[in-house]
Amino acid sequence: MKKEVVATKNAPGAVGPYSQAVRTGNMVYTAGQIALDPQTGQMVDGGIKEQTHQVFANLKAVLEAAGTGLENVVKTTVFIVDMNKFSQVNQVYASYFTGDFPARSCVEVARLPKDAEVEIEVVAAL
């Protein structure tokens, strides 16, 4: 099965030896996205809710570049630095998915790149 790298300027560029996403077969696997503004390369202002909205904007842009969208997400992995803020992330998260929700894992971590409060990666069908 051939793998194809997905890249878009509408989401933060990879800053290391990884791709924004990889498409193979009928699936797309994204790298984790944090709340970087793709235009400035800086973290968005605000708290975890604002960060979560930016994360989804970045994921949406990567998925669109791959030829799919949030409606085709089958699995998400959420990384959060403070599980006490999970309800805030969950509130924003729920606004991006309706009906048949994707499978999800959520893991509390000690630290994320750029001291982000949340990072999300997804797997989507084409």
Q: What is the set of active-site residues?
A: 106
Which of 76, 118, 116 shows the shortest CA–CA distance to 97? Answer: 76
Helix ranges, 12-98 (H): 48-66, 86-94
The answer to whether residues 100 and 111 touch, using CB atoms and an 8 Å cutoff, is: no
Q: What is the largest CA-CA distance in the chain?
A: 42
E-assigned strand segments in the chain: 3-6, 21-24, 27-30, 73-80, 103-108, 118-125
Q: 67: which strand partners?
A: none
